[in-house]
Amino acid sequence: MDDKIVLEDDLGNLRRSHYSFEISRKNVNEEVVVVGWISSKRDHGNVLFLQLRDQFGEVQIVVKKKETSLQLFKTLRNLKEHSSLAITGVVVEQKNSSSQIEILPKEIKILSISNKPPPFLTQAISSIGIDTRLDLRAIDLRRNYLQFVFKIRNTIINSIREYFNENYFIEVNTPKMIATATEGGAALFPIFYYDREAFLAQSPQLYKEQLTMAFESVFEIAPIFRAEPSRTNRHLSEAISIDAEKAYVDYRDMMEHLEKLIRHIVNRINSKNANELENLGIKLPNVSGSFPRITYTELINNLQANHKFIRWGDDISPKILKDIFSDEFFFITDWPASMKPFYVKSITPGNAQKESAIDEKNLLSESFDLMFGGLELSSGSTRINNKDLLIENMKKKGLNSTAFDYHLRVFDYAMPPHAGFGLGLERLVMALLKLENIRDATFYPRDIDRLTP
């Protein structure tokens, strides 16, 4: 090996020839260039074994003292994990090993040096607290466990786009700086917008409704912002929402779409991420059958029959739901209208299925929540498409309809009947992969206590 050792931040003209997964026995005796960071190192005295990791996996580098300059060998021996290298070397067959091949270096270029070891290792599940990990999130994300999680998350996002594209939905982008609260004014992040107050969007709701007038079927994958002072393991202040809206359908049609979407996602993960699932020890839920559906009223009646202290009109605790449904997908439908936002259509005797509106306080809505055990993943509904009814509902909810003029004015041009849903990406990842904390389903979590990194 050349005695020259280069310590620099610049690759120069050197470029990777192969990723780790592209090197196999068919490459034996070939010269390759591999680039990555040291995930582990074993010192056997006269031989160093370096595991060099790239985005797809690892390849073993064998550095022999007798074939290396003393300076270089000593430098490599002292290198800490996470240091980055570019290695030009020859692929050789590694006998009596499952890895099959290794690389004997001809030239090693040290690109960056790790100054100190991180406070946790890159093993499957760290015993270090999540706050310590999040303080060094980029290093935390190098752990195998989270590598598997985020590769599956990537499959989820790709399969969502695939499903919507196959079903004639158009991907849209809606404003994230808005003038008026979408959900009635609670849990908003105010911001300065030039000379006036604005807010970070809680939801693309009103914009995606308007876009059904132009495109009929739309979807968006984008951040939403909720200033909820929550410290639970299932709440974030910034999350990714998968939103869909479609004209000329109602909430039952959108439940069908949502169920098919979940089934498509699960099938894609099973086919594309078998290795990640095996390493995580996860078996995805069976989604071959239809998801159970129970109305809110039926659920309350069942709970009351089982001596649960709960009244009609109360929200239902996640713990109670998890005890009943365990880890499975199911819908709760026809919620009280009083519990839903102003744009949700009420069930009237003319369009009710099993239940009808008796009086104002018992009014039901054409709505649903998709649950996984005790975790709410999605909410959806048929929307009000009549301007007068929408204004009336705004007043009932204590909202000033004047503030929504930008939205109401389009209803003068015949807003079609429409329905939609919003699905939380992080909650879906959390449910499918049985994560204990939703913060491990997003790259850089934002919550009541965390604004960095």
355 annotated as a binding-site residue: no
The Cα 299–Cα 57 span in angstroms is: 48
Q: N- to C-terminal Cα distance for the chain?
A: 41
137 annotated as a binding-site residue: no
Helix (H, G, I), strand (E, B) or coil at 244: strand
Q: Map tokens 């078998």 to a residue.
A: 274
226 annotated as a binding-site residue: yes
311 annotated as a binding-site residue: no
Cβ atoms of 40 and 51 within 8 Å: the answer is yes
Residue 278 token pair: 């095996």
Cβ atoms of 199 and 190 within 8 Å: the answer is yes
The Cα 56–Cα 35 span in angstroms is: 12
Cβ atoms of 162 and 430 within 8 Å: the answer is no
235 annotated as a binding-site residue: yes
The Cα 72–Cα 5 span in angstroms is: 6
CA distances from 352 to 6, 349, 379, 416 (A): 75, 5, 19, 20
Cβ atoms of 251 and 414 within 8 Å: the answer is no
Cβ atoms of 41 and 78 within 8 Å: the answer is no
User: Per DSSP, what are the bridge partners of residue 367?
Assistant: 381
C-alpha 225: how far from chain center: 15
383 annotated as a binding-site residue: yes
425 annotated as a binding-site residue: yes
Laid out side by side, the sheet with 190-193 consists of: 177-178, 196-200, 190-193
Task: State residue 254 phi and psi, 5-degree precision.
Answer: -70, -30
216 annotated as a binding-site residue: no
**How does strand 367-372 pair with strand 329-333?**
antiparallel
427 annotated as a binding-site residue: yes
The Cα 209–Cα 245 span in angstroms is: 7
93 annotated as a binding-site residue: no
234 annotated as a binding-site residue: yes
Task: Describe the crossing of helices 425-433 and 144-166 by its angle, rounded to 10 degrees.
Answer: 120
Annotated binding site for L-aspartate: 183, 226, 379, 383
Annotated binding site for Mg(2+): 376, 379
Annotated binding site for ATP: 226-228, 234-236, 376, 424-427
Annotated binding site: 183, 226-228, 234-236, 376, 379, 383, 424-427
